[in-house]
Structure 1
Amino acid sequence: MSGETSDRFLGKTEDYKKFRPSYPLEIFQYLKQEHNLLESKICAEIGSGTGKFCELLIQNNNTVFAVEPNAEMRLAAEKSLGKFKSFISVNGNSENTTLKSQSVDFIFCAQSLHWFANEKTAKEMSRILKPHGKVVIVWNKKDYEKSSFMKGIHKIFIEDCIDFLSVKLENIPDDEILSSLFTEKYQSFSIASKQILNLEGLFGRMQSASYAPPENHPKYKKFRSEIENLFKKEEKKGTVEFLYETVTYVFTF
């Protein structure tokens, strides 16, 4: 992730930390059973953000190097996870992690690869990965076709956000993003997941997106109004279901 890319999340750290979803624990069951993610494995997460996925690796008793160029997000992760000896915060990026060569068993990119899938990233991953190591890509992909609420969310993103249509994860097939990193074959696993959100939670979740307009932007007022209108239309007992398909891709080297 370049400095320019990470700057897209400046000012969004609190919303990201509080309102973005975590990841289904079934992912770890799959990685343990099929890919030997043992407690002894040394991991790196590139684009680790506020540490949501790192926290799960720590719970799995893995040592994790959290590589994050955005200072706000890196400091937020340090604040919540710095008490764990197995958490190592790193000021680096996908093209220069600063990690030692052949030092990690697993590389994870959780909700981040679409920002930095390129040849330089692939070269850096190959450098720091141990022989027969693995690269694991995880995305919580919004399931826009699953409900009328999610279709409404998609409409708001398209019409009331700044540059939604330019974001790879939202508009380019996974295969195309993955092939820009590695040519090797991969294995995959997917599972449905969701967040149950009240109106405050929905606002926060929407505002955490890189393409959501900030408060001083001309689109902001309509953006908030459309979210509130959609919530009023779709809520049941004061909440809505924000639906995802959580997908995991594993490359083995």
Structure 2
Amino acid sequence: MDNLHKNAKAGFQTNEAAQNYVKGRPTYPIESVEYMRDNLGIDKDSVVVDLACGTGKFTQVLASVFNNVTAVEPSKQFIEQCDNVLKNIKETSNPSLQYKVIEGLATSIPVPDNSVDLLTTAQAFHWFSNIETIKEISRVLKPNGKLILVWNSNKEDNPEYNQIISLYRDKRFRAEESPSFYSGEWMKVFDEIKESPELKKFIDPNLDLKTFKHNHYTNYEKALGHALSISFISLLDEPTKEIFIKEFKDLFNSFELTKGNKDFSIVLTTHLYITKKPSLQ
């Protein structure tokens, strides 16, 4: 756990954080995982690892398509939630599913060398985008095994909801800066690899991008859960967090689309950044 980012360690290690993730975080479109199966030389019985699986938001989509899924996560609270999700998938929709949810880090993945056909990490790579992680991912991937970095974004959404989530950018509520997908800082590790023939043996630094749009249905309670699951919001002291919640609720009630606790939908884009371990080491 010493290698875990301090904000992740502080913000993702409580039952409250796990419940907020379950309540508010969006899922991912089944088409994104079907694309992996149908276009990347991976079949339903391939060995799949979902790294930093959280509460299983993306893992459950993987488990609906693939039969051999291992989820890796450092938070014991999140592991419990993900295990419940996968147990339900096996009992209700994919009886062929063989799964494990195990404790581990991006720099210490508890699976054998050269054993994984597909490694995914959803809404997480920005936390550990470094050479040590790339070397560990390369260790577990088979030659030509695929690495796919996954994020949801909502930049193309309606102006009312964008105004609400702009509250996240208010400096009053950013007590601790955290890495993010939007900063693009996570891409620097691939630029570093491009400059080094020695590092290129671990992973192809050229990323292919595929995107998939989907509707996410939410309401005030779910959106608040999402907000409170964000690392720097979860780390606020209680008086400041109460101010955030009040302003968040006031903004929700200021728009016809979102006021009260009525359900509404927003359009999300799922990004798949695809690369692979070279076939020759």
TM-score > 0.5, shorter chain as reference: yes
Deviation at 1:21, TM superposition (A): 0.7
Question: What is residue 94 of structure 2 aligned with on the other side?
Answer: none
**Is the 1:21–1:195 Cα contact (8 Å) retained in structure 2?**
yes
102, 107, 127: which is aligned to 2:139? 127
Instruction: Tell me by how many angstroms 1:196 deviates.
Output: 2.3
Matched to 2:65, the amino acid is N
Structure 1 residue 137 corresponds to structure 2 residue 149:
yes
Residues 157 and 266, structure 2, Cα contact 8 Å, conserved in 1: no
Aligned pair partner of 2:232 in 211, 216, 219 = 211
Alignment of 1:77-226 (within 5 A): 77-82=82-87, 84=90, 86-143=98-155, 146-159=157-170, 160-163=172-175, 165-172=177-184, 175-176=187-188, 179=191, 184-213=205-234, 216-226=237-247
User: Could you tell me whether the CA contact under 8 Å between 2:211 and 2:269 is conserved in 1?
Assistant: yes
Q: Secondary structure at the match of 2:26?
A: coil
1:239 counterpart residue number: 263
- Deviation of 1:163 after TM superposition, in Å, equals 4.3
Distance 1:56 1:161, change over 3 A: same
Q: So what's the TM-score if we normalise by structure 2?
A: 0.80
**AA paired with 1:197?**
T
Q: Deviations over 1:204-247 (max 9, x none)?
A: 12112112146852321221122112211234272344443210
Aligned match of 2:272: 248
Call closer, same or farther: CA 1:55–1:179 in 2, change over 3 Å. Answer: farther
Contact 1:8–1:210, Cα closer than 8 Å, also in 2? yes
Report if the CA contact (8 A) 2:190-2:206 is conserved. Answer: no
Distance between the aligned counterparts of 2:58 and 2:218, measured in 1?
20
1:41 maps to 46
**Gap runs ≥5 in structure 1:** none
Match of 1:2 in 2: 4
Cα drift, residue 32 of structure 1: 2.4
Change (3 A) 1:223 1:75: same
> Which residue of 1 is the match for residue 30 of structure 2?
25
**Distance (Å, rounded) in 1 between the aligned partners of 2:253 and 2:164:** 13
Shift of 1:146: 3.4
Return the letter of the residue paired with 1:2.
L
| Aligned equivalents of 1:190, 1:173: Cα separation in 2 | 20
Equivalents in 2 of 1:54, 1:88: separation in Å?
A: 11
Structure 1: distance between partners of 2:122 and 2:185: 17
- The letter for the 1-side match of 2:225 is G
Residues 188-213 of structure 1 show CA distances to partners (whole Å, capped at 9, x for unaligned) of: 11122332222212211211211214
3-state SS of 2:144 partner: strand
Deviations 1:50-72 (A, max 9, x none): 11211112111331111101111
* C-alpha separation in 2, matches of 1:147 and 1:177: 33
Q: In 2, are the aligned partners of 1:157 and 1:164 still within 8 Å (CA)?
A: no
Contact 2:119/2:146 (<8 A) preserved: yes
Q: TM-score, normalised by structure 1?
A: 0.88
Question: What is the identity, as a one-letter code, of the residue corresponding to 2:11?
Answer: R
Q: CA deviation at 1:105?
A: 0.3
Cα-Cα RMSD:
2.4
Q: Residues 193, 177 of structure 1: CA spacing in aligned structure 2 closer, same or farther, 3 A cutoff?
A: farther
Amino acid at match of 2:122: A
| Percent identity of paired positions between Structure 1 and Structure 2 | 24
Pairwise CA distance, 1:180: 6.0
Which residue in the other structure is 2:197 paired with? none
* Per-residue deviation, 1:39: 0.7
Moved more, 26-35 or 116-125: 26-35
